[in-house]
Amino acid sequence: MAKTKFQIKNRYTGEIIVEMEAETLKEVVEKNKANLRGADLWGADLQGANLREADLQEANLWGANLWEANLQEVNLQGANLRGTDLWGAKIKITQKEDLIKSLGIIVEDEK
């Protein structure tokens, strides 16, 4: 497979966070996972990606494919996960609140 030049930009400022040549966007994300705060990864195919310990705070993952991705210890605070395929994704129990908020789910008491 031929290498392509990829750029990942900050979703708010348009500033380039990562720029490199790789075969897939998944490869770029896995190699630079610690540096993706605020990244625009809209619709990215990250199926099965190992994102363990990545900083995806405020990242735009709208419609991304994170099917069976390893999200353990990933910072998802404020991330946009609406429409994201999370089937089989792995998280730690301590991440559940951030995941619920990132999906736009509101949990109410029945009182």
Single out the residue of 108, 45, 41 nearest to residue 81, CA to CA.
41
Please report the pLDDT score of residue 62 as a whole number.
Answer: 95
Taking the CA of residue 88 as centre, how many other CA atoms within 13 Å lie in the half-sphere pointing to its CB? 10
What average pLDDT does range 33-49 have in this prediction? 96
pLDDT surpasses 80 at 42:
yes
At residue 1 the predicted structure's pLDDT band, cuts being 50, 70 and 90, is confident
Domains of the chain, residue spans:
32-104
Q: In whole angstroms, what is the distance from residue 102 CA to residue 43 CA?
A: 16
Q: In whole angstroms, what is the distance from residue 39 CA to residue 58 CA?
A: 7
Strands (E) located in 1-111: 4-9, 16-22
At residue 94 the predicted structure's pLDDT band, cuts being 50, 70 and 90, is very high
At residue 61 the predicted structure's pLDDT band, cuts being 50, 70 and 90, is very high
Residue position matching structure tokens 């031929």: 2
Please report the pLDDT score of residue 111 as a whole number.
Answer: 73
Please calculate the CA angle 18-82-42 and round it to the nearest 5 degrees.
25
pLDDT surpasses 90 at 48:
yes
At residue 80 the predicted structure's pLDDT band, cuts being 50, 70 and 90, is very high
